[in-house]
Chains A and B, each alone.
Chain A
Amino acid sequence: MAGEKAAGEKKPGEKKPGKKKTDEKKPAEQKASQKEVGEKKKKIKKHHASRNPVLARGIGRYSRSAMYARKALYKRKYTAPETKIEKKKKEKPRATIIKPVGGDKNGGSRVVKIRKMPRYYPTEDVPRKLLSHGKKPFCQHKRRLRASITPGTVLILLTGRHRGKRVVFLKQLGTGLLLVTGPLVINRVPLRRAHQKFVIATSTKVDITGVKIPKHLTDAYFKKKRLRKPKHQEGEIFDTEKEKYEITEQRKSDQKAVDSQILARIKKVPQLRGYLRSTFCLSNGVYPHKLVF
């Protein structure tokens, strides 16, 4: 072992024959010894050879418990230093919260438990559900995009109030829906979401490289808002809620920002503007399965 110590850094080759002699030597001890020599600790620890002589390959003379005693692990118990995560975990979560209370002479506030005891214990236990495999929630689904749809492709919308209109594809959003824009001045289609399945992808593409789409355009931005706070007034509930959709200023500014970039590129291609203004329709003798889009 002394020989190893002295020539530890210089000759890694010497350690190899050392390894071969004691087959059962734990590789961890070897690596630890190398590290310690490199780090130059003040206490140079001598490493003992294996205290468990080998009877046959894979079989030692002493059992686990005997080895525990032989290695004196009872007095060698180390704990890892407490990490920041563990420190954070020690901070106990709040058990109660103070809530304000209305009314006269009520004291103004109450101390309320955050996590309450269950109010009902069923007499029969809920049966254990069978293991299921691969059933992911919607947010974890794999989103696919057809190879024919790339940023800048002209799409034909098939459903919705804008059916038949030709529209420019911008990007695919987190839920898999396609972000699409008219542009507004051309065919009155604003920044909108479209479903991949209800869209025909044409082979006409607008060069959209370098167009910056604001990052706040996500699914949450486009999601329909529904206010529901009826104060138990029947009769006028249906009127007060959002029946008239109002275009917010933010939408207008976002529309302008995106469209100005795209319009410049559309103008470069001859006749593309008129193409986007027109609508798609079928007539006699026109069969979609025979059309090349």
Chain B
Amino acid sequence: VFKRFVEIGRVAFISFGPHAGKLVAIVDVIDQNRALVDGPCSGVRRQAMPFKCMQLTDFVLKFPHSARQKCVRLAWEKENINEKWAATRWAKKIEAREKKAKMTDFDRYKVMKAKKMRNRIIKHEMKKLQKMSSKKGKKPEKSEKPEKSEKPEKSEKAPKSEKVQKAPKAQK
């Protein structure tokens, strides 16, 4: 039922508080509510932190309990947590959300135009397929094909592709 546990070396994401948005490793458990936490590679000093503001990630590091910061840092860099984190969907969603919030009025217009064009292309292909299937009479055409052909067309718009792909994905 539970897959992520609070253990020594568990990497956690801080959701609120002064260090919101940073990653830390659990070094030791103080009592039922607090843990000794350290984030040498993310700019968090070694301190006690309540569990409530931590959200556990999938990453676990290997170091003994109450290890000093140097050991935590070594383990962190050995596992390359920063890069692994950036590759997770979780981190990407956060980034997409931030980008969306920073959009200016002009950016919003560009995204709107890009989305409109993309939807038109998809609709066009769908209609084509529907027509073909109705004409040829029950030839099961896979509707997944047009989606694959859509992706290279999307990537044409290089500057907007970041926001276009991330913004609608973030919505979903």
Contact = CB atoms under 8 A, between A and B. Distances in A.
A292 B102 CA distance: 6
| Category for how many chain A residues contact B | 10 to 19
B105 A204 contact: yes
Interface in A151-175: 154, 156, 166
A222 interface: no
Contacts of B105: 154, 156, 166, 202-204, 280, 291, 293
A218 interface: no
A199 to B, nearest CB: 13
A271 interface: yes
Nearest to A286: B108
Interface string B151-169: 0000000000000000000
Contacts, number: 33
A278 interface: yes
A127 interface: no
Contacts of B113: 271, 274
Interface residues of B, number: 9
A293 B104 contact: yes
Contacts of B106: 154, 202-204, 271-272, 275
A275 B105 CA distance: 9
Give the 9 A-B residue pairs with the shortest CB-CB distance, closest first. Answer: A204-B106, A202-B105, A275-B109, A203-B104, A293-B105, A275-B106, A292-B104, A271-B110, A292-B102
Interface of B: 101-106, 109-110, 113
17 contacts: A154-B105, A154-B106, A202-B105, A203-B104, A203-B105, A203-B106, A204-B104, A204-B106, A271-B109, A272-B106, A274-B109, A275-B106, A275-B109, A290-B101, A291-B105, A292-B101, A293-B104
Interface of A: 154, 156, 166, 202-204, 271-272, 274-275, 278, 280, 290-293
